[in-house]
Each structure stands twice: as C-alpha cells, then as structure tokens.
Structure 1
Amino acid sequence: MKKNFLIGIILLFAVWWVVATVHVLDAFFLPGPIEVLIDLAQMLWTGTLNADIYATMVRLGLAFGIALIAGIPLGILLGASTKIYESVEFIIDFFRSLPATAIFPLFLLVFGIDDSSKIAVAAFGAALVIIFNTAHGVMNTKPSRIIAAKLMGAKKLQIFKSIVFWESLPQTFIGIRTSISLALVIIIVTEMFIGTYAGLGRRIIDFQYIYNVKGMFGIILLTGGIGYALNLILAKIEDKVVHWKGK
C-alpha cells in the first residue's frame, strides 16, 4: 500500500514537472512543483498560514461534529423503517444532488455572513451523506441473522445492539469518510465568499487577486494534503472498529 501511495505521488509530480518544463502553459500560470513546494514550506515555516489553517480546521471540526451527531441517529431511524425512508428518500437525494454553492446564499440569509452560515451549510451537506449511508447500512442487514435472533427470543433493542448496529458500520464509515471530504470542500468554497477574514479558501482568493500563482497552488496542495490525512485517519479508525470487514 505504501509503495502504491509513493508511486501515485511521484507520478503526479512527474507529470506536473514535465508539463511545467515544456511550457504547455505560461510558466507564470503553471509554476513547477519544486517552486510551489518551496514557497509553501516558507509560508508554513514563517507561520503565515497558521491563522488560516486554524480557522478552516475549527469550521471543519464543528461542521463535521454536527453532521455526525445529527446524521448517524437520523440514518439509523430512517433505516429501521423502509416505509419512512422511502417517504423522505426524494428529499435526501434532491438536496444531496444540489451543489453547496447553489444553496449557500440561502444559508447566508438565514445565518448571516459570519462563520455560522459556513458551518451550517457544510454540516448540512455532510449530514445528508451520513444519513444516506447509515440508513442503507441498517437496511442491508442480513434478514437471516435478525430472524435467528428473534427465534432465540431477542428483543428489538438487543437485535439492534448485537446485529444491526455492527452490520451497518461498514456502510456508515463509508458515509463518514465521504462526508469529511465533502465538508472540507464546502468549507473551502464558502470561505471564498464575503464575511471571511481567515481561512484557506480566503487565502486562495487573496492570492488570486494579487496573482500569487505559486501561493495558490501551494494552498491547493495543502488543502488536498489535509483532506487526504483526515481520510487516512478515519480509514485507520475504521480498520480498528470494523476489523472483520473483508474477512
């Protein structure tokens, strides 16, 4: 896995370096990877990005936390009743299909231009993904195991704790991992709107205004790195919790 990971990184930077070297685009608009990495390292070393990283991570943490707290219980409740899920499935799919940027102005009207609107829209988008996956995880529980448990006299709560909860976890974790990536994307995008004074999205826009292309690419790389790291952490947690998956 580690070798494949390194091959992917090397391939990405090799293609980038070749494209930049042969000047497919003007060197000003497509700086080489080494220049970008050096510029990013300088910004990190001098602490230029500290406030932006902190602001983005706080917003992401709050949005993701709200999505987890709201999404998992709702997903379990909806998954426990096929009829209820089918009655709201259109609503869930409808809002899941909408880009966050399309509904963000509505959140701005309701919550104002401060961080509340950014956190709310990111939590909303992430929660829908968690609800969808958790509900399907619950609904895909093997009926034979539930029937066997009922024959042995198990109550509904016992069946949920011993069978349904554990069988739904793999699908739930898929939703959790997808939702944190989505929440990060939404936070970055909404930080580019008005009312943001710190954040990686705000920094990208600031660099765009002053034509600091190396800085823009650096922040994009940093954002991708943060997203990958968070996904990797959740994957490790999933391997520990859902250790039977694939066996």
Structure 2
Amino acid sequence: MEIEKTTGKTEKFISLGVVIAIFLIWIGITSNGMIAETLVPSPTSVWSSFLDILHHGYKGATLWQHLGASMGRLIKAYVLAIITAVPLGLLSGYHSKIRAFLEPVIEFYRPLPPLAYYTLLVLWMGIGDASKIMLLFLAGFAPIYIACASGVNKIKKDYILGAKTLGANSRQIFFYVIFPAVLPDVFTGLRTSLGVEYTTLVAAEMVAAASGIGWMVLDASNYLRSDIMFFGIILMGITGILLDQILRWIEKKIVHWKGKN
C-alpha cells in the first residue's frame, strides 16, 4: 500500500514537472522574440485577453455565456448518447440479431469525418442548435456503443452458464451478471465518447454559431488574434480535463471493485 502511494506521488510530480517545463519553454520562446506574437502569443498576452474577456465579454456575450453555450450543446448530446448507446450496445452484445441489425449503420458512419455529414444535418435540421447537438450525438454514440457491445462479448461464458445452473432467467442474467461485469467497459466508452464529442465541438460551432468557446476560437482566427485562440484552447483543455475527472470519480464510486484482485 505504501509503495502504491509513493508511486502515485511520483507520477503526480512527473505530470506537474511536464506542465511546468512546457510553461517555461513557452515563456522562453516568446520572451526573446524567436517567434512572432501573432503565431505564438506570450503568456502575459493570453492572461490579458482572459481578463479582458472575463470583464467585457467577447462579441456581445460574456465568457460564461460562451462557456455555457458550448457546455449546453455538449451535455445535451452526451446525455442523449448515453441513454441510447448504452442499452443498445448491451443488447447488441447479448443478442446477435440486434447486433446484425445495428452494426452496418454504425460501422458505415463511424469512420466518416464529422464535417462530411454536418452539411447534411444543417440542411435537414437547420442552422440552430439542433444540428449541432445531433452532430455531437452521432460522434459520441459510436464509442459508447462499441465499448458496451465488446464488453458483453468479453464476459466469460462460465459466469452465464453458472447463473443459468442456479436457475436465473435471461432478465436476471442480464441485470445481475452481465451489466455489473461490463461496467468498466461502459465507463471506458463514456470517457472516450466525451473526448470525441469535445473534439467535434469546434466543428459543430463552425456553421452559423454566434456563441461558444469553439466559435470564439474560430472567430479570433479570422482576425489573427492568437492570444484569444490560445486562451480558448487552454479553456477547452481545462474544462475537458475537469469533465474527465468527474467521470473518473463517478467510476470509482460505482465500479469500486475495478483493478482489485
């Protein structure tokens, strides 16, 4: 136990050291004029842009309105992906006929770049948030579905046969054997899906958006405001890490047996 704690502290120090090293390199290459300010702004410029947007907003909206708009689209699409992909993925892993029905569609659109079909979504659903949420939903659905289906397929048949021997029916096997066993894979899919949706968020805010962190970064690029672009990217990275940490915390509470022998 003491060894694990020591290892954990060492890993945290390494991670902190990497962050500090990147920050020092950033200061070094911007302080001596090696790179133009329009390409890589200095940390002080990014900090000044943060304070300016925090107090005065950006293009008619406050920082919290931009962040809220992006998080609203992301969370709506993410929740929709969870409540559809988890049950369908579990059922697909449990019933081969359901898997045969769903997988051709999912395997067809999954490798497609989001921008390839986003224009179609805009034509069908308009330029409002509906098309953006649908784009994020489609991007996040496949990772959850695949993780759930593959998790069911990995379950040892001995567990299922043992439950049947004890008199369990199909419903009891599903809820008391399969679902608990597949939970670690479900959370892996949830974390992967969140990352995929977040990377798609900028694409979702490229068309006819007037708010959102992704839109703010894209709009700033039109005016070569690299300081605002850096600030937006850093903000997206921090919020992404926080959301992932929340999922990790929930996973530890629910799947408390994971990694224990």
Shared fold, TM over 0.5? yes
Unaligned runs of 5+ in 1: none
Match of 1:177 among 191, 195, 205: 191
Which residue identity lines up with residue 75 of structure 2 in the other structure? Answer: G
* Contact 2:74–2:198 under 8 Å retained in 1: yes
Task: Kindly state the Cα deviation for residue 46 of structure 1 after the two structures are TM-superposed.
Answer: 4.6
Amino acid at match of 1:151: T
> In the alignment, is residue 163 of structure 1 matched against residue 177 of structure 2?
yes
Q: Distance in 2 between matches of 1:96 and 1:71?
A: 13
Do residues 129 (structure 1) and 143 (structure 2) align? yes
Deviation at residue 55 of structure 1 after TM alignment: 0.7
Q: Deviations over 1:92-127 (max 9, x none)?
A: 233221111111111111111111000001011101
The Cα shift of 1:45 comes to 4.7
1:207 deviation in Å?
A: 1.1
Aligned residues: 246
Q: If the length of structure 2 is used for normalisation, what is the TM-score?
A: 0.87
1:221 to 234, 237, 240: 234
Q: Look up the equivalent residue of 1:202 and give its one-letter code.
A: W
Aligned to 1:211, the other structure's residue is in SS state coil
Pick aligned residue for 2:245 from 232, 235, 240: 232
TM-aligned CA deviation for residue 7 of structure 1:
2.4
The 1:221–1:130 alpha-carbon spacing in structure 2 relative to 1, beyond 3 Å, is same
2:9 is the alignment partner of 1:25? no
1:56-85 C-alpha deviation (Å, 9 max, x unpaired): 111111111110111111101111123542
Of 102, 121, 124, which residue of structure 2 is paired with 1:110?
124
Q: Which among 80, 103, 108 is matched to residue 89 of structure 1? A: 103
1:144 partner SS: helix
Whether contact under 8 Å (2:86, 2:144) holds in the other structure is: yes
Shift in Å, 1:27: 2.6
- Write the letter of the residue equivalent to 2:254: V
Taking only the aligned residue pairs, the percentage that are identical comes to 35
- Say which SS state the counterpart of residue 97 (structure 1) adopts: coil
Supply the distance in 1 between the matched residues of 2:121 and 2:72 (Cα, whole angstroms): 19
Counterpart Cα distance in 2 of 1:126 and 1:103 = 15
What stretches of structure 2 of length at least 5 have no aligned partner?
1-7
Please state how far the C-alpha of 1:90 moved relative to its aligned partner: 4.2
Q: How big is the shift at 1:5?
A: 3.5
1:43 matched to which residue of 2? 53
Q: 2:3 maps to what in 1?
A: none
Amino acid at match of 2:125: F
1:171-196 deviations in Å (ceiling 9; x for gaps): 11011011112112212222122x21
Aligned mates of 1:8, 1:103 — CA distance in 2: 38
After superposition, the CA RMSD in angstroms is 1.9
Most deviating of 43-52 and 83-92: 83-92
Give the partner amino acid of 2:115.
Answer: T
Task: Verify: 1:203 aligned to 2:216, yes or no.
Answer: yes
